[in-house]
Amino acid sequence: MPYSEAIGSVLWPVVVSQPDAAYAIGILAQFIQNPGSAHWEALKRLIVYMGCTKDLWLTFGGRTEDPMRGYCNVDWASQQHCHLISGYSFHFGIGAISWSSKKQNIIALSSTEAEYIAQTHAAKEAIWIQSFIAEVRGKEEKGLTLLCDNQGAIALAKDNCFHSRIKHIDIRCHFICETVEAGRIKMEYIPTNDNVADIFTKSLAKPKFQQFVEQLGLKKLKV
């Protein structure tokens, strides 16, 4: 089976313009060294899906005063390996400009801890985006809004204090506290049903999946 070649051919459009398939390709790519027949069949279904949605274009636009915002989420312990699968997307008006779906090398002990770590990974991307926009516009804009659906993780990010329940977390994951305290990122709550980053962390029912596909900016262009 030309499994690795097929993974490569699917990965390119996912990186460039099809964020809706990022979670699926991330799961399938984990078996590139030793794929089974089930993985091959799943990969063929993914290729069929991408062929059926080739008319969806990643569109941009909206009002110029719309602030840039980010969404982050994580799937906690749903896989057999129990590692985090975190995802984020950043939007400037209509359409996602950056996204990620990635298995982390961390096993979280609670959903709050999992979301807290996912926030840190999203914060690193947010800082880079802010720096890039500052180079283009000639001025730095602080206060990028990062939306998360876990109140406990948001509270930890805003409270830059030591807690016994987070003392075991890798020190680099506390980077989010520094960025929030410096005012570079503003943490806000968003209900799970409206958190588009959910599409990067788990399989979803068709109605919710289609809702998030549209929120990512994937639409058919009117001729």
3-state secondary structure of 206: helix
- What CATH number did the domain enclosing 131 receive? 3.30.420.10
Query: Coil, strand or helix: which one is 80?
Result: coil
Instruction: Answer yes or no: is pLDDT of 222 > 80.
Output: no
pTM of the model: 0.86
Model pLDDT, residue 132: 87
Q: Flag whether 173 is in a domain.
A: yes
DSSP letter (8 states) at residue 84: -
Q: 88 and 190 share a domain?
A: yes
Judge whether residue 159 has pLDDT over 90. no
Same domain, 95 and 177: yes
Residue 154 lies in a domain: yes
End-to-end CA distance of the chain: 39
- Average confidence (pLDDT) over 80-86: 79
Task: Indicate if 41 and 76 belong to the same structural domain.
Answer: no
For residue 179, what are the CA distances in angstroms to 128, 145, 156, 220?
12, 12, 13, 37
β-strand partners of 57: 219
pLDDT score at 125: 92
Q: Which domain holds residue 44?
A: 3-54
DSSP character for 1? -
133 and 193 both lie in a single domain: yes
Which range (55-59, 92-96, 173-177) has the least confidence? 173-177
Structural tokens at position 32: 């590139």
Which pLDDT value is given to residue 81? 67
Distance CA 177, CA 213 (A): 31
Q: Is 133 helix (H, G, I), strand (E, B) or coil?
A: helix
Query: Tens digit of pLDDT for each residue in 1-30?
Result: 899 999 999 999 999 889 999 999 999 998
Query: Which contiguous run of DSSP H or E holds residue 219?
Result: strand 218-220
Domains contained in the chain, number: 2
User: What does the radius of gyration of the chain's CA atoms come to, in whole angstroms?
Assistant: 18
CA distance 100 to 216: 12
